[in-house]
Structure 1
Amino acid sequence: MQRKIITTADGSKTIQIEGWNEQYHSVHGAIQEANHVYIEHGLLFFNSELNSEKNTLTVLEIGFGTGLNAILSLLISEQQKLQIDYVGVEAYPVSSEELKELNYQEVLQLKNNVFENIHACNWESSHDITKHFTLTKLKKFFSDINDINCYDIIYFDAFGARVQPELWTEDIFKKMYDALRLNGVLVTYSCKGSVKRALKSVGFSIERLNGPPGKRHMLRAIKR
């Protein structure tokens, strides 16, 4: 399927799948969306509201993709001296040619080629990217996740239910619920009625929040 690099409204780039009219990130701003949904309402919310003085947080990303959410989480870990163990799951990794065209290193003014480093490290093993950030990339399908009580936060950043409805089912969200620890948080850009019903049906308490630019709402789900 034809893919191309596009520039979003905040100047950061993303990948567009033309046949689906679907992007890895919002055309209204890739970095803006990721910060709003996953960092502000996921990572920072958990750490300020639900974290009971833990020194290490564990994050699972559903859809590692371009690595943007991982990079933004790494920046928070460095700013707050917060240890983050980050696991990114991706069935179809982004190509090296596409990665070279993305501009997160420049836009975010990253040091030490850290964006390149997270993509250069091997899959299926743990790597200390910085003193505070450990990354494990797993190449597998979301349906193959069978972790139990392992994570504090899940970034659910799969392609939309319009093009891949099989990724937004009760079966998938039951796996997410089981993978989270008590009081764990799942955040996603989607606010479809079917997604809300699926999250509720497996036991999540959900909140509808204001969405990032270009989107009215998003969802946060908590395992109470």
Structure 2
Amino acid sequence: MTREVKIITTEDGSHSLFVPELNETYHSFHGAYRESVHVFMLYGLEAWYMRNPENFPVRVFEVGFGTGLNAWLSMVWAEQYKVPLLYHSIEPFPLGKEVYAQLNFTQVDPTIAEYALYFNKLHQAPWNEGVIMSEYFNMKKDLTTLEDAVLYPSDVVLFDAFAPSKQPELWTKEMLSKVVDTMNPGAVFVTYCAQGQLKRNLKELGLEVETLPGPPGKKEMTRAWRIN
């Protein structure tokens, strides 16, 4: 399936996509690249690694492959840290080459420019099968919805779905429970969303919930840990 999208430029100079059907963007207007680094890398993958520096491989599950930015940043992280990472992502509306080939994420930070070629390769990788993308990064992209997805045990959950006001079906307690049930002890769930109902649902599902400073332009975000 495909949906109409339009490339936009956010405040940090990086691209995002606008979806007319939902009247929504894939990332924050205040900076797509900064949002992904802040929410999903710094407070997600990096935070988990600081608690578990010897626990390999790292198993990451992402809700919403989208532009591929989180996957690419995770691959760069794995290569730089030399940490084996197994990345599982789901996406019902994959982007066409005419869109992802124009995205400028690989040009934002010159310090990781050497990994630029991998960005398109992540999009070009076949769906619904595991692929060795680099020495430290293995990936499986499933062309499916969260409702229909088969999930695997995870250490880090990057919950990057559209906002609850746009896709409420993905933020129900039932859907969150499906994800939480596959989280390993000590796993972390991280999202840009700071909705009160989300935090109450995560607490009721047994997670230890934190409200953290959000990325530029957003006051708060949510992180939750599975303690047992």
Structure 2 length as normaliser, TM-score?
0.93
One of 31, 34, 37 as aligned partner of 1:32: 34
Would you say the 8 A contact 1:187–1:220 is kept in 2? yes
The separation in 2 between residues aligned to 1:57 and 1:187, in whole angstroms, is 15
Letter in 1 for 2:107: E
The CA deviation at 1:111 is: 3.4
The CA deviation at 1:94 is: 1.4
Would you say the 8 A contact 2:127–2:142 is kept in 1? yes
CA distance change for structure 1 residues 216 and 122 in 2, over 3 Å: closer, same or farther? Answer: same
One of 158, 165, 176 as aligned partner of 1:162: 165
The CA deviation at 1:56 is: 1.0
SS in 2 for 1:35: helix
The CA deviation at 1:44 is: 0.5
4+ residue segments displaced more than 4 Å: none
Letter in 1 for 2:142: L
Would you say the 8 A contact 1:186–1:220 is kept in 2? yes
Equivalent runs, 1:92-111 vs 2, <5 Å: 92-108=93-109, 109-111=113-115
One of 139, 162, 173 as aligned partner of 1:135: 139
CA distance change for structure 1 residues 176 and 46 in 2, over 3 Å: closer, same or farther? Answer: same
Per-residue deviation, residues 164-184 of structure 1 (Å, max 9, x unmatched): 111100001101111110111
Structure 1 length as normaliser, TM-score?
0.94
- In the alignment, which residue of structure 2 is the partner of 1:83? 84
- In the alignment, which residue of structure 1 is the partner of 2:187? 184
SS in 1 for 2:87: strand
One of 48, 51, 60 as aligned partner of 2:50: 48
Structure 2 residues not aligned, in runs of 5+:
none
Q: Number of aligned residue pairs: give it.
A: 222
- In the alignment, which residue of structure 1 is the partner of 2:217? 214
One of 146, 151, 166 as aligned partner of 1:147: 151
The separation in 2 between residues aligned to 1:22 and 1:84, in whole angstroms, is 31
1:120 is aligned to 2:124: yes
